[in-house]
Structures are given as structure tokens and as C-alpha cells.
């Protein structure tokens, strides 16, 4: 009988070592310094994986697989997450569960707990964010700052003209200076982009 014909259950292991098999060992992730550009770009080349990174940042560094599937499904189908049908939601959920999240977990971009369905920031997520064009900090809403300045300036200008206070030119100069300072601050925060 050749080795190919021996059934696996009939093979006994006499000298079994106590060393764990590759399946039993915990996968160790490479340190950030050893993270190659190939790994980084392999993770970031897929839009769905970039959306995962963005969603986790928007959710303060932790979210669930279900929430991710709904959020990303809404973006991909151009509709609110509540309007997704079961098939649209399932297609994103399965893709994330089977492919994208495990790959991102192995690369240190996220920490994915399949049993609990949680997704957290990974130990090397900042490395990935350095290669994204967008700024990670999404808290600042510059349109509101400029809109607020415009509204206050317009009200002050109209008030000075209506009341004939003679402060029209002063209001105009203060508005221009404030706009210049706000623009310079915005420019410095976004590195001129």
C-alpha cells in the first residue's frame, strides 16, 4: 500500500510535539516600521476598504460589522442606509466579512473580532491614513465658519448702512481682516490644499 492510499485516520502520531500548529498560533502582525508599501497600497487600493477606514474614524475608532455594512451599502447604492433592501445590505456584509475585514485585520489597519462582529482601529491605522488624500480629522466644518462670518458681516454692514452710523467702512475692514485671518488659519491646517 502506497502513502497515497493510507487513510488519514489510520496514521498515529507517536512523537507529537507540544509546539502549536500554524492554525493554533495567534497571527502576529508586523510592526509599523516593517509595514511595506505593497501591503499599505494593497489595502488602500479598494474603495470599500478606504470607506471602512473612514467610517471607523467617524465613529470614534470603533463600530460593528452591521453598521459598517449599512453605511457602506448606502454610499455604494446612493441611498440612505435605512432604504437599503436585504440583498443590497447582505452583498456588502458578506464582502466585508469574508474578504475585506480579514485582509485589513491581517495588515494591522483594523482589529476585527468575527465572533463579536466588532471593528476597531488597528495598531497601524495611522500609517494607512498618511497615504490617504483626505484629512483624517473630520470635525472641522469650514463651510460653517465661512458661512457664519458672512452672515455676521452682512448683518453688521446692513445695520451700519440702515442706521447711518458712518461705520460702514470700519465694518468692511474688520470683515476683510477676519476673513484673511480665518483663511490663513484654514490654509495652515490643510497644508495649502
- Tell me the C-alpha distance between 112 and 120, whole Å: 7
pLDDT in tens, 83-130: 999 999 999 999 999 999 999 999 999 999 999 999 999 999 888 888
DSSP 99: I
CB 55 within 8 A of CB 72: yes
Longest dimension (CA), the chain: 109
In three-state secondary structure terms, 111 is strand
The predicted pLDDT at position 70 comes to 94
Domain 33-129, CATH: 1.10.10.10
User: 20-29, 39-48, 178-187: lowest mean pLDDT where?
Assistant: 20-29
Helix axes 47-58, 37-44, angle to 10 degrees: 90
| 118-121/62-64 β-pairing | antiparallel
Is pLDDT at 21 greater than 50 in this prediction? no
At 67 the three-state DSSP class reads helix
Supply φ then ψ for residue 76, to 5 degrees: -70, -30
Q: How far apart are CA 97 and CA 95, in angstroms?
A: 6
Q: Which residue has the cell 443590497?
A: 88
For residues 73 and 113, what is the distance between their CA atoms, to the nearest angstrom?
A: 21
CA 134 to chain centre: 10
Query: Is the pTM higher than 0.75?
Result: no
Amino acid at each position: 500500500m502506497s502513502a497515497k492510499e493510507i487513510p488519514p485516520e489510520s496514521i498515529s502520531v507517536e512523537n507529537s510535539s507540544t509546539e502549536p500548529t500554524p492554525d493554533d498560533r495567534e497571527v502576529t502582525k508586523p510592526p509599523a516600521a516593517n509595514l511595506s508599501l505593497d501591503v499599505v497600497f494593497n489595502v488602500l487600493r479598494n474603495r470599500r476598504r478606504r470607506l471602512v477606514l473612514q467610517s471607523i474614524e467617524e465613529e470614534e475608532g470603533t463600530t460593528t460589522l452591521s453598521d459598517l455594512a449599512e453605511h457602506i451599502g448606502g454610499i455604494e447604492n446612493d441611498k440612505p442606509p435605512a432604504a437599503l433592501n436585504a440583498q443590497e445590505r447582505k452583498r456588502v456584509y458578506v464582502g466585508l466579512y469574508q474578504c475585506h475585514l480579514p485582509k485589513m485585520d491581517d495588515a494591522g489597519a483594523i482589529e476585527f473580532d468575527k465572533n463579536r462582529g466588532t471593528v476597531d482601529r488597528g495598531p497601524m491605522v495611522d500609517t494607512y491614513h498618511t497615504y490617504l488624500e483626505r484629512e483624517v480629522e473630520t470635525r472641522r466644518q469650514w463651510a460653517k465658519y465661512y458661512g457664519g462670518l458672512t452672515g455676521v458681516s452682512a448683518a453688521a454692514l446692513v445695520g451700519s448702512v440702515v442706521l447711518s452710523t458712518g461705520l460702514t467702512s470700519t465694518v468692511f475692514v474688520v470683515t476683510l481682516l477676519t476673513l484673511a485671518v480665518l483663511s490663513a488659519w484654514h490654509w495652515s491646517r490643510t497644508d495649502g490644499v
